[in-house]
Structures are given as structure tokens and as C-alpha cells.
Structure 1
Amino acid sequence: MVVNITYRNKQIDKKINEFIGQPFSLLEKIKMKGIGTSKMQILEANKALEDLFSPHLDTRYCYLELRPKGLIVGFQSVYKTYVWLIPFFYLNIYFNSGLLSIYSKQDFMKMKPPFNGSVDKKYLKKVLVARADYLGKNQFRNLN
């Protein structure tokens, strides 16, 4: 789900919090040693996400933020700010040769760190562990 958060209001915040969970508290963020990434350069996205980008922008950037029930991918397009909300049960992450690919249902985005940087593998591990914990506790219980 992609949400325009340029002008935030309580209804949008409530929808985001219901969909992927409340933001972590400051103490939780410190214990986790951070919940987000530095900016990442967007290389490719599916048509629905691509249509939100301005055709005039040469380089597009995004960031990732971890939430208790999912992941936020935030990006800007000229004067608008969007977040792509991905619940853990739809999240697929692939990391290959320096490129990070994120998939959710029919949407995808491929990105890399700017300026010949490297993807923070500790952060990816943190996201995958949080996803596994969430799915193990809430979704796929043995029904036998």
C-alpha cells in the first residue's frame, strides 16, 4: 500500500499504525541500534511506483524503516512524500551483487547505496529476523 504523507493527519497515521504497527519507542530504537537505513538510490520499480516519481528527477532516493509488523519504504517526488507500507507476510528481500530488491505482492523496487557505498548487512539481518519472529508468532502456527 502506498500512502501520500505530505500533509499528515490522524487518519493517515492511524491507517499506517494499524497496517504495520506503532513506531518503536526511543528506548527500543536504542536497544535495536537503529531501525532505519541511510538513503538508497532507486534503480528500478514497477509501473505503479514508477508513476509516482517525477520524470524530471535524474536520481531518486528512498529510505527503509523497520516497524513491528512490517517495513516502510519512504521516497519523495518533487513536492510530495510517499511511503510504501509492506507487511511482513508480503515482504520478500533479495540481495545480490550489491543490489537490494524488495518485493510485495505485485510491487517491487530495486535499489543500491549511493556513491559506491555498501548495503548494511546488519540492518538486513535485523529485518529478516524481525520478519521471521513476527511470522513465527502470529501467522504460521502448526494447525495439527
Structure 2
Amino acid sequence: MLLNVSYNDSEITKKIDREVGKPFTLKERWAMKGIGSPKLSITETSIEIRNLLILDNNRDTCNIEIRPAGIIVRFRSLLETFTLVIPYYKLKIHKGDIAVYTIYRDTYFIKVRSDTKAVREFFKKILDHKIGNTPNLPEDL
């Protein structure tokens, strides 16, 4: 689900919380050694996201936040902030040939450059957290 989160809207916050869970507490963040990614350079996206990113001439970057039941990918275009909310059961991550990770949710995708060790370790943390928090059976949803 692609959302504009530039303005404080309780309905959008509830929608995000239902999809991927409430944010971790400070204690949980400390235990996980952080839940946010470093700044990621976007190399390619699906057409819906590309249409938002081409509105300005800034570098295309994003960051990822880990939530209990999924991830949130945030990026900016013009003066607006957008999020791609991805629950773990819809999350697909592929590692490309030359230091590129592709994050998929249904028809949306974002390719990001993984040129540092910190980025690779963060994607490993996402995959480890996904394994422990994805329901096994459809009735577990």
C-alpha cells in the first residue's frame, strides 16, 4: 500500500499499524541494535513510484523501518513524504548481480544499491526478522 504520510492523519496511522504493527518500544529498538536503515540510493522503481520520484530533481533515496509484522519504505518527492507499507507475508527481497537489492510488494518494487557492509547487514536483519515473524498458515493471519 502506497500512502502519502506528509500530514499527521490518524486514519493513515491506524491503517499502517493494522498492516505492519505499532512501532517498537525504545527497549526493543535497543535490543535489536536499531530498526532503521542507512540512507539507500534508489536505482529503479515500479511505474507508480517512478511517477512520484520524477516530480523533482533531487537524488532518489529512501530508508526502511522495521516493524513487528513488516517494513515501511519511506521516500520523499517535492515536499511530500510517501511510504510503501509491506507486511512480511507480502515482502519479497531479491539480491541482484552487482550490489542491488530489490524489494517487492504485489505490483510495487524498489531497487536499492547495497554498496556498503551496513546496508547488507540491515537486509540480513530484515530477513532474519521476517523468518521469525511470518505466520505459517493462512489462519494465523
Q: What TM-score comes out, normalization by structure 1 length? A: 0.87
- Paired positions, count: 137
Q: Which residue of 1 aligns with 2:63?
A: 63
Provide the secondary structure at the position in 2 that maps to 1:120.
helix
- Tell me which residue corresponds to 1:105: 106
Shift in Å, 1:121: 2.4
Letter in 2 for 1:112: R
Whole-angstrom distance in 1 between the partners of 2:122 and 2:55: 31
Q: Which segments of 5 or more consecutive residues in structure 2 lack a partner in the other structure? A: none
Q: Flag as ranges the 4+ runs of structure 1 deviating above 6 A.
A: none
Taking structure 2 as the reference length, what is the TM-score of the superposition?
Answer: 0.89
Deviation at 1:92, TM superposition (A): 0.7
Q: In the alignment, residue 105 of structure 1 is paired with which amino acid?
A: D
Indicate yes or no: 2:120 matched with 1:121: yes
For structure 1, the residue ranges without an aligned partner over 5 or more in a row are none
Asked whether the 8 Å contact 1:112–1:119 carries over to 2, the reply is no
Matched-pair contact (CA < 8 Å) for 1:98–1:118: no
Match of 2:137 in 1: 140
Quote the Cα distance in structure 1 between the aligned partners of 2:78 and 2:7: 14
Please say which of residues 93-102 and 65-74 is displaced more in the overlay.
Answer: 93-102
Distance 1:58 1:123 in 2: 24
The structure richer in helix per residue is 2
Partner SS state of residue 18, structure 2: helix
